[in-house]
Chain A
């Protein structure tokens, strides 16, 4: 009897330990705010993150198995689609907005340029089902995964049984996306006192704090609010932004403030990808502001900088480019799970 008890205890410990080894702790970078995402409801584990990563890179999520999340959110581009102004879905269908860069999503309180999506777990539903993006349905994705030779085993590893549900699939995708933390730019090293700004960068930092920080607040370089930054309305799109969601005229032409991190990799800029270069963006703030009742008050007078100042500011913005983020193999195409020529 005693023996049995001891064996049971040992087995229990072994089981507990084996789970412990795969659990992951989400590390909050020093000095950063508390994440918005509730990790208590979807605790990170190595196997779930890996499942999410596999799904992220697998075109099986699209109707014709041609397009994966990574098609429009590639790591080399800080998880956006470089050189496309508007998103690009299956059968070369063109969407109506610029695909956003994915990083530091645990701190984001809403998703999409207009905040249409209120939680990271349900974000993936939008591109999966949008006819201009992946044009697929969740039940059909589940059917495809069930008959796939790898997924039942991966769900088993992640969840303890091989049942594939919408909730599990979506939460695994969240887990991978939550790990996409970019906090190793030069700026971060300077803040950690491991590096120093050059004189030009330092001047640019001062200009940033003066002109940009009210919306693009440190350390995330976004405050996730919705603002009208004075862009003229592109008549081919007539995109009213946040107002389409809230139906409030006070939200007309407002879009979510994007981060200034990793700008080197994420061009073109703005919700419709209208600017290819940072210089164009700065010129817009200096001379292009369109006055409308909802214009952000900070922009009423425009942001004028001479060419020297622009140079300093751009030098500072370059310190927000995180090379380790775009080259971290843990975020990349999971070659080991795919056969040659599969995925992406």
Chain B
């Protein structure tokens, strides 16, 4: 019995030693390259656009191996901000071997209805709607000659937690190699080119349109090949 316990103890120790960290790097890209907030990008139509602001909540990160959950990040809410490079990188310490990563884009309904939170969820971050409660899951802002708006601005504030307007999207990315560093590409070029900016340039409240855009957004994310 004692021997068995010792064995288990040893086994646990080796497991801890074997455990690694995982650095998750997020990159907002245009045509495969990191977005430059100063630059106007040419569209195939000859029109152009610039992305001045990209901010996004990543939450509920977990890992699985062979279909079983092996790691759940506690208090998992992260605000990515293209203008603040350190925010685009997260480190998960002491993780076991995994072959898939799960996370959500946005903030779940529980946090959306339970008052003022701190850290990345603090309303001072500008990602909480003041006039109608709820988090903005992600923001993409910029200018394009296609938008017949003040200063040719487009403003996508995508959020909503209730009922049909729930814009939280869960996604799974598989990577059998279980690397220590994983770069997740957010190809804004793909997402924005699915939108007719002449018609759709300003979304600032929960709606069916917002839910649709959130799904399209999540579908573009992918693991960048090293």
Closest residue of chain A to B123 (Cβ to Cβ) is: A166
Closest residue of chain B to A111 (Cβ to Cβ) is: B133
Docked Cα-Cα span, A38 to B110, in Å, equals: 14
- The answer to whether residues A130 and B131 also contact, given A165-B122, A166-B124, A167-B123 and a CB cut-off of 8 A, is yes
Are B124 and A171 in touch, CB under 8 angstroms? Answer: no
Residues 87-121 of chain B, each 1 if its beta carbon lies under 8 Å from chain A, else 0: 00000000000000000000000001111111000
Are B131 and A116 in touch, CB under 8 angstroms? Answer: yes
Tell me whether A125 is interfacial, beta carbon within 8 Å.
yes
Are A119 and B122 in touch, CB under 8 angstroms? Answer: no
Docked Cα-Cα span, A142 to B116, in Å, equals: 15
* Across-interface contacts of A245 in B (CB, < 8 A): 132
Among candidates B114, B116, B132, residue contacting A116 with C-beta atoms closer than 8 Å: B132
- The answer to whether residues A41 and B114 also contact, given A116-B131, A118-B133 and a CB cut-off of 8 A, is yes
Most buried by B among A42, A125, A128: A125
Closest residue of chain A to B126 (Cβ to Cβ) is: A139
Tell me whether A153 is interfacial, beta carbon within 8 Å.
no
Docked Cα-Cα span, A174 to B116, in Å, equals: 10
* Across-interface contacts of B122 in A (CB, < 8 A): 165-167
* Across-interface contacts of A120 in B (CB, < 8 A): 115
Tell me whether A303 is interfacial, beta carbon within 8 Å.
no
Tell me whether B128 is interfacial, beta carbon within 8 Å.
yes
Tell me whether B6 is interfacial, beta carbon within 8 Å.
no
Docked Cα-Cα span, A142 to B125, in Å, equals: 11
Among candidates A119, A126, A137, residue contacting B113 with C-beta atoms closer than 8 Å: A119
* Cβ of B183 to closest chain A Cβ, rounded Å: 30
Are B114 and A119 in touch, CB under 8 angstroms? Answer: yes
A5-42 CB contacts (< 8 Å) to partner B: 38, 41-42
Tell me whether B5 is interfacial, beta carbon within 8 Å.
no
- The answer to whether residues A139 and B124 also contact, given A122-B133, A129-B130, A245-B132 and a CB cut-off of 8 A, is yes
Docked Cα-Cα span, A174 to B115, in Å, equals: 10
Are A167 and B126 in touch, CB under 8 angstroms? Answer: no
Tell me whether A170 is interfacial, beta carbon within 8 Å.
yes
Docked Cα-Cα span, A38 to B128, in Å, equals: 20
Most buried by B among A138, A166, A170: A166
* Cβ of A26 to closest chain B Cβ, rounded Å: 15
Using C-beta atoms within 8 Å of the partner chain, give the interface range for chain B: 10 to 19
* Cβ of A205 to closest chain B Cβ, rounded Å: 36
Among candidates B117, B130, B131, B134, residue contacting A167 with C-beta atoms closer than 8 Å: B117
Are A119 and B123 in touch, CB under 8 angstroms? Answer: no
Tell me whether A213 is interfacial, beta carbon within 8 Å.
no
Are B133 and A117 in touch, CB under 8 angstroms? Answer: yes
* Across-interface contacts of B118 in A (CB, < 8 A): 165, 167-168
Using C-beta atoms within 8 Å of the partner chain, give the interface range for chain A: 20 to 34
* Across-interface contacts of A247 in B (CB, < 8 A): 165
B158-188 CB contacts (< 8 Å) to partner A: 165
B41-74 CB contacts (< 8 Å) to partner A: none
Closest residue of chain B to A42 (Cβ to Cβ) is: B115
* Across-interface contacts of B123 in A (CB, < 8 A): 122, 125, 138, 166-167, 170
Closest residue of chain B to A141 (Cβ to Cβ) is: B124
* Across-interface contacts of A38 in B (CB, < 8 A): 114-115
* Across-interface contacts of A117 in B (CB, < 8 A): 132-133
Are A41 and B115 in touch, CB under 8 angstroms? Answer: yes
Docked Cα-Cα span, A45 to B133, in Å, equals: 26
* Across-interface contacts of A322 in B (CB, < 8 A): none
Tell me whether A121 is interfacial, beta carbon within 8 Å.
yes
Most buried by A among B112, B122, B165: B122
Closest residue of chain B to A119 (Cβ to Cβ) is: B115
* Across-interface contacts of A142 in B (CB, < 8 A): 124
Docked Cα-Cα span, A122 to B117, in Å, equals: 10
A80-118 CB contacts (< 8 Å) to partner B: 116-118
Are A122 and B124 in touch, CB under 8 angstroms? Answer: no
* Across-interface contacts of B114 in A (CB, < 8 A): 38, 41, 119
* Cβ of A89 to closest chain B Cβ, rounded Å: 14
Are B116 and A121 in touch, CB under 8 angstroms? Answer: yes
Docked Cα-Cα span, A328 to B112, in Å, equals: 34
Are A166 and B116 in touch, CB under 8 angstroms? Answer: yes
Are B133 and A119 in touch, CB under 8 angstroms? Answer: yes
Could you list which residues of chain A lie within 8 angstroms of chain B, going by C-beta atoms? 38, 41-42, 116-122, 125-126, 128-130, 137-139, 142, 165-168, 170-171, 174, 245, 247
State the 6 A-B residue pairs at the shortest beta-carbon distance, nearest first: A166-B124, A121-B115, A121-B116, A125-B130, A118-B133, A170-B116
Question: Besides the contacts A137-B126, A167-B117, A171-B115, what 10 more A-B pairs have beta carbons closer than 8 Å?
Answer: A116-B133, A122-B115, A125-B130, A126-B131, A165-B122, A166-B116, A166-B122, A167-B123, A168-B118, A170-B115
Q: What would 19 A/B residue contacts be, using CB atoms closer than 8 Å?
A: A41-B114, A116-B132, A118-B112, A119-B113, A119-B115, A120-B115, A121-B115, A122-B123, A125-B128, A126-B131, A129-B130, A138-B126, A139-B126, A165-B118, A165-B124, A166-B122, A167-B117, A170-B115, A170-B123
